Structure 1
Amino acid sequence: MFVIFGATGQVGRASATALRRAGHPVRAVLHDGGQTAAPAEALAAIGCEIAHADLNDAAAVARAIDGAHAVQWLCPVPRAHDDPAAAMRHTIDAGVAAFRAAPPPRLLALSDYGAEHADGTGITTRFHYLETRLCGVPASLTFLRAAEHMHNWARVLPVALERGVLPSLHHPLDKRFPTVAARDVGELAAALLLDAEPARATPRIVSIEAEQRVSALDVARTLADLSGRPVAAHAVPRDQWSAVLRGAGLGERHAQLIVDLYDAHNAGRIDVEANASERRFGVTRLEEVLGALLSRTAGAEAATRNVH
């Protein structure tokens, strides 16, 4: 049995789909609370067993992994929480307690570029904490560190299309940075769970990004080409970051974590750890992801017009 936490997310869904396509049994674990039935129904339709678990409850996590041959685990970033760093720490501690009590033979944890740094990287420090805590679990352990997800640009897509301006915290605008499609992360995670490599004394660290790095200018040009509308990248002034993030709905502590993250990004600290990981490259191109996002945005706009 392969147990996939966060199976309704883009990465988890891709992993579950790949494993089911290969004929393996999959238990898709959904977070308790706030979810509609549709994601569970879609997973059940491809043959997944559906389970629900409170990720902050070690006993619930332990029940979810009962009988697992391999587990894919993530700690979600709680966008709406007043103190997301503390909330993530709590979730990580609960998961680690469950894994130590009943370790699965194979455990893959989804992590981030920059997780090797103990401080100074904002929200990514929580993934350093995750990796550090998991090192005490007696399992064949893999950390899959992913670059920034391409679909993160969805957050500013409506603004870019409406105003012709793509706001960016990546400075300078022509600086190329690593990025990756969630689908490629999920499919690689599934492949690693199936990998028959012998157990190691230390965790296996694998990094993934797209074959080509991009800049904010590249993103703006691609959006313009795909949408047929003028879109220009705009570097949000550093002293406005916090206000912009809070205006987008983040709390004060969460906004500061993102400010610290992009300071680290712009200083070149969010990257592949030198000589410490296996490097893999996703095949999905930026224009494919942005094209899909644009299609969804257009569909949502059409639905809104029909309602009114």
Structure 2
Amino acid sequence: MFVIFGAAGNVGRVSAAALRRAGREVRAVVRNNKQGELLAEIGCEIAIADLLDPVSVERAIEGAHAVQILCPVPHSDADPATAMRRMIDVSAGALRANPPQRLLALSDYGAEHASGTGITTLFHYLETQLAPVASQMTFLRSAEHMHNWGRVLPIALARGVLPSLHHPLSKLYPTVAAQDVGLLAAELLLDDRPAKVSPRVVSIEGEARVSALDVAHTVGELAHRQITAYEVPRGEWPAMLHGAGLGENHARLVTDLYDAHNAGRIDVETEISERRFGSTALADVFAVILARAGAASTATSTATTAAR
């Protein structure tokens, strides 16, 4: 049995589908039955679990040959760092009590740093807690996900301006499509060869590094309009993040992360990492996001017209 936590997410659902195509039994771990509907349609067993509840996590991993674990940043929590560490502690405790033969944890570029990297320090904590759990332990560290730009694409389309915390705008940085991460995760879980080292560290990023200028150009080409990248001044970051609905603690994690990014601290750890590269281009990811945004806008407009 292959157990996939976060199976309804951008990475997890791709991993679950790839494992099912390979003929493996998959237990998809989700937060509620609604999230499990599409996964059940492809033959996954559905498990409902709360990463803060040890009993539900223990139940989810029962009988597992391999586990893919994800501890997401809890955006709605007033103190997301503390909440995520609790999730990690619960997951690590359950896995230590009942270790699978193979364990893969979704981690982040920069996870080797114990401090000074904002959100990424939480992935450092994840790795330190899980490293001793399984004899075949893999940390899959991914670059910044391309779909993260989806949060500001509506602003870019409405105003013709793409706000960026990446400074300077011309700086190239690594990024990757979530689907490529999901496919690689499934490939690594299916790899039956004995691990040469444990934990094994594998990194993934896209074939080409991009800049905020590249992102704005790509959005503009897809939207058939001029989009200009805007370097948000450092002093305006907290207000912008608060305006986007982030609490003070969460906003601080983000500002610390981008300070580390802009200082060049968030990158692949080349000395120990097996490097892999995804094949999905930025334009492919953005085309899907924009198509969904257009469909949602059309649906809202149709519903509003019908209600009149």
Normalised by the length of structure 1, the TM-score is 0.97
Equivalent residue number for residue 140 of structure 1: 136
Q: Does 1:8 find its partner at 2:4?
A: no
Q: Does 1:84 find its partner at 2:83?
A: no
Spell out, residue by residue over 1:231-290, the C-alpha distance to the aligned partner (whole angstroms, 9 max, x if none): 100000000001101100000000000000000000111000131100000000000000
Structure 2 counterparts to residues 115-130 of structure 1, below 5 A: 115-130=111-126
Q: Does 1:19 find its partner at 2:19?
A: yes
Q: Does 1:190 find its partner at 2:186?
A: yes
Unaligned runs of 5+ in 2: none
Q: Does 1:266 find its partner at 2:262?
A: yes
One-letter amino acid matched to 1:48: C
1: distance between equivalents of 2:197 and 2:147? Answer: 35
One-letter amino acid matched to 2:25: P
- 1:295 alignment partner, one of 275, 279, 291: 291
2: distance between equivalents of 1:143 and 1:165? Answer: 36
One-letter amino acid matched to 2:30: L
Q: Is the 8 A contact 2:96 2:133 kept in 1?
A: yes
Equivalent residue number for residue 179 of structure 1: 175
Q: Does 1:250 find its partner at 2:259?
A: no
Unaligned runs of 5+ in 1: none
Q: Is the 8 A contact 1:140 1:200 kept in 2?
A: no
- 2:223 alignment partner, one of 227, 234, 240: 227
Spell out, residue by residue over 1:114-137, the C-alpha distance to the aligned partner (whole angstroms, 9 max, x if none): 000000000100000000011221
Equivalent residue number for residue 107 of structure 2: 111
2: distance between equivalents of 1:63 and 1:22? Answer: 25
Q: Shift of the alpha carbon at 1:36? A: 6.3
Q: Shift of the alpha carbon at 1:294? A: 0.6
Q: Is the 8 A contact 1:146 1:207 kept in 2?
A: yes
- Please list every run of at least 4 consecutive aligned residues from structure 1 whose deviation after the TM superposition is greater than 6 angstroms: none
One-letter amino acid matched to 2:217: R
Q: Is the 8 A contact 1:205 1:278 kept in 2?
A: yes
Give the length in aligned residue pairs.
304
Equivalent residue number for residue 163 of structure 2: 167
Q: Shift of the alpha carbon at 1:58? A: 2.0
Q: Shift of the alpha carbon at 1:223? A: 0.5
- 2:236 alignment partner, one of 221, 225, 240: 240
Which 10-residue stretch deviates more, 9-18 or 269-278?
A: 269-278
Normalised by the length of structure 2, the TM-score is 0.97
Q: Shift of the alpha carbon at 1:40? A: 1.2
Q: Secondary structure at the match of 1:254?
A: helix
2: distance between equivalents of 1:304 and 1:98? Answer: 43
Q: Shift of the alpha carbon at 1:197? A: 2.1
1: distance between equivalents of 2:270 and 2:19? Answer: 31
Q: Does 1:62 find its partner at 2:71?
A: no
Q: Secondary structure at the match of 2:30?
A: strand
One-letter amino acid matched to 1:8: A
Q: Is the 8 A contact 1:148 1:178 kept in 2?
A: yes
Q: Shift of the alpha carbon at 1:200? A: 4.7
Equivalent residue number for residue 28 of structure 2: 28
2: distance between equivalents of 1:2 and 1:200? Answer: 22
- 2:46 alignment partner, one of 47, 50, 53: 50
Q: Shift of the alpha carbon at 1:60? A: 1.6
Q: Is the 8 A contact 2:135 2:198 kept in 1?
A: no
- 1:93 alignment partner, one of 85, 89, 94: 89
Which 10-residue stretch deviates more, 53-62 or 279-288?
A: 53-62
Q: Secondary structure at the match of 1:10?
A: coil
One-letter amino acid matched to 2:11: V
One-letter amino acid matched to 1:261: L
1: distance between equivalents of 2:288 and 2:227? Answer: 17
Distance change (3 Å), C-alpha of 1:245 and 1:36: farther
Q: Percent identity?
A: 65
Q: Secondary structure at the match of 1:219?
A: helix
Q: Does 1:307 find its partner at 2:303?
A: yes
2: distance between equivalents of 1:2 and 1:120? Answer: 35
